[in-house]
Amino acid sequence: MSEKTLTRMDLSEAVFREVGLSRNESAALVESVLKHVSDALATGETVKISSFGTFSVRDKSARVGRNPKTGDEVPISPRRVLTFRPSHLMKERVANGKKR
């Protein structure tokens, strides 16, 4: 079987199936989950979802980068980046999922 790409629609469909709310409300609630996670991260907060994983915001300091094509030096401004650390459960499920 070739791999698929799931979207918000598939997550809403799962909520619709599992919980039995209307499709519209299921979609709104999926959106609400993503919104609350994003809002917390935007304020710099760490979001820790047990047995799923941890999203944390890291501050990167300014550095000098290089345009790989021209070799020119370009200043890279300080920025915040998001890192995701998967839970043990997720790592295990992914590692064992298709193999055996």
Partner 1 sequence: MIRSELIQKIADENPHLTQRHVERIVNTVFDEIIEALAKGDRVELRGFGAFSVKERDARTGRNPRTGESVEVEDKKVPFFKTGKLLRDRLNGKA
One residue of 14, 24, 66, 76 binding partner 1 per CB under 8 A: 14
The binder of partner 1 chosen from 23, 40, 64, 65 (CB under 8 A)? 40
What is the DSSP code string of 54-86?
EEEEEEE--EEEE-TTT--EEEE--EEEEEEEE
C-alpha dihedral sign at 34, 39, 42, 43: negative
The yes or no reply on residue 9 touching partner 1 (CB under 8 A) is no
Closest CA to 65 of 76, 55, 52, 80: 76
Which tokens sit at 18? 């599992």
18 near partner 1, rule: CB under 8 A? yes
Q: Closest approach of Cβ 57 to partner 1, in Å?
A: 6
Q: x/- string (CB under 8 A) for partner 1, residues 75-94?
A: ----xxxx-x-x--xxx-xx
Does residue number 50 form part of the binding site for partner 1 (CB under 8 A)?
Answer: yes
